[in-house]
Amino acid sequence: MRRPMSLGLTLAIAACLSADAPTKNETLLRDDFKSADHQDRAASRGDWKVSGGVISVTQDPVLYEKYANHGPLLAYEIPHDDAEARVQFKPQGCKTVVFTMDAETGHAFRIILRTDRLGSIYGYDPQPGADRPKANPLSREMPMLKDNEWTSLSARVTGQTATVIVNGKEFKVTHPSIDQNKTTVKIGFAFGSFAVRSFELDAI
């Protein structure tokens, strides 16, 4: 006959299981680019450089082709669910800027900003056995990118709802796919040059 676990052991196991889970109002990420190194920062697909509180890069056409027509990427592998991300960036000659929250199954939530037309918001449904999740268009009214100007973007995801603010303009979307445990937050772009001066993520 198995003996029941003691209360102390039960609590210890529960603490271990929840040790990596973010708590409400916890600061998950602060990157002000005052240092060339950050424990969670992964800057790829280009020669990113940090200087004067800014990280920047110019797209390399050879690398763009190597990575199947994907431009440079700035990513942070940080588990989160209900959370708010904030990023300030400046595009120069970019065609698109893409902000994404990924889950274990791939993309979970994405904002695409463009220079030639209004941008979009997507939620993604996991598709067992498929190569990628199913994309669900949630909005096609995001403002167009302003070239060579600093842009502020925030994405607050709580349950099935996301509130997106771009330079003070607010957009709200709701879809079940938004409510996923996420693993990564990132921003990338295609063509031209790109600079970022702050990237933040808070559990809420």
Q: What confidence score (pLDDT) does residue 20 get? A: 59
Residue 92 in this model has a pLDDT that exceeds 60: yes
Q: What is the CATH number of the domain that holds 185?
A: 2.60.120.560
Residue 15 lies in a domain: no
Task: Tell whether the model's pLDDT for residue 80 goes beyond 70.
Answer: yes
Mean pLDDT of the 65-75 span? 97
Do residues 120 and 140 lie in contact, with contact meaning Cβ atoms separated by under 8 Å? yes
- Structural domain boundaries enclosing 174: 24-203
Q: How much is the mean pLDDT over the chain? A: 91
Percent of all residues in the chain with a pLDDT value above 90, rounded to a whole number: 85
Q: Which of 12-16, 87-91, 131-135, 173-177 has the lowest mean pLDDT?
A: 12-16
Q: Please tell me the total count of domains within the chain.
A: 1
At 34-68, the pLDDT tens digits run: 999 999 999 999 999 999 999 999 999 999 999 99
Q: What digits encode the pLDDT tens for the residues 181-201?
A: 999 999 999 999 999 999 999
pLDDT in tens, 102-116: 999 999 999 999 999
